[in-house]
Amino acid sequence: MGKNFCETGSYLFVRVKDINFKGKVSVDKASDRITVEVPVCWLPYLDKINENDKCSLTYKADEKQGYLVGTGSVIEKKTDPSHPLLVVTSPDKVEQRNELRRYKRFGVFMFTCIYQSEELKDELLKPINGTVVDISLGGCLVLADYPFKIGDFMVLDFSVGYSEENINLKCMVRNSRPFYESKLNLYGLEFIKMERETEDKLENFLATLPLH
Write the pLDDT tens digit of every residue in 117-135. 765 555 556 789 999 989 9
Amino acid at 143: L
Residue 47, classed as helix, strand or coil, is: coil
pLDDT (0 to 100) of residue 114: 92
pLDDT (0 to 100) of residue 162: 64
What is the Cα–Cα distance from 71 to 93, expressed in whole angstroms?
9
pLDDT (0 to 100) of residue 174: 85
Amino acid at 140: C
- What confidence category does residue 42 fall into, taking pLDDT thresholds of 50, 70 and 90? confident
List, in order of start, the domains of the chain with CATH numbers.
2-98 (2.30.110.10), 106-206 (2.40.10.220)
The answer to whether residues 99 and 67 touch, using CB atoms and an 8 Å cutoff, is yes
Backbone angles phi, psi at 95, to 5 degrees: -80, -30
**pLDDT greater than 60 at residue 81:** yes
**pLDDT greater than 90 at residue 44:** no
